C-alpha cells in the first residue's frame, strides 16, 4: 500500500477490511451459532480479493518483485518469542500466588 502507484480506492478497501477484522462489531454477532463466524469467513476474503483487484497489475508485479528482492528480516523472532513466553509464565505464576 506504500507504492505510489496504488490507487486510493484500493487503500480505502484494504483499510476497511483491516478495520472490520479488528473491530468487535460484526454484521452478525459471533455468538450466533455458525452464522456469527460465517460473515467473517466470507467478507474478509472478499474484501482482500477486491483490494487486490483494484491494484493495477504493473504495481502488483512491482511490489511482488520488491518483496522477492528484499525479504523481511526477523532478527528478534526468537528473542521476542522467549520474552512473550517468559511474560506468560510470570503472569501464570503471579495468578497462582494470588489464588493460593
Q: Is the pTM of this model over 0.75?
A: no
Residue at 22 is within a domain: yes
Residue at 17 is within a domain: yes
Residue at 19 is within a domain: yes
Q: What is the pLDDT of residues 17-76, one digit of tens each?
A: 999 988 888 788 878 888 888 888 899 999 999 999 999 999 999 999 999 999 877 667
10-33 as b/e, with b when 16 or more CB fall inside 10 Å? beebbeebeebeeeeeeeeeeeee
Residue at 18 is within a domain: yes
Q: Please determine, for residue 7, whether its predicted confidence score (pLDDT) is greater than 90.
A: yes
Residue at 2 is within a domain: no
Instruction: Provide the domain count of the chain.
Output: 1
Domain that holds residue 33: 8-99
Residue at 40 is within a domain: yes
Amino acid at each position: 500500500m506504500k507504492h505510489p502507484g496504488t490507487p486510493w480506492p484500493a487503500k480505502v478497501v484494504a483499510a476497511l477490511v483491516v478495520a472490520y477484522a479488528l473491530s468487535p462489531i460484526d454484521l452478525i454477532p459471533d455468538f450466533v451459532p455458525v452464522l456469527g463466524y460465517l460473515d467473517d469467513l466470507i467478507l474478509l476474503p472478499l474484501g482482500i480479493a477486491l483490494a487486490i483487484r483494484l491494484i493495477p497489475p504493473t504495481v502488483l508485479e512491482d511490489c511482488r518483485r520488491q518483496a522477492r528482492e528484499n525479504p523481511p528480516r526477523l532478527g528478534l523472532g526468537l528473542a521476542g518469542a522467549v520474552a512473550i513466553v517468559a511474560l506468560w509464565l510470570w503472569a501464570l505464576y503471579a495468578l497462582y500466588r494470588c489464588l493460593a
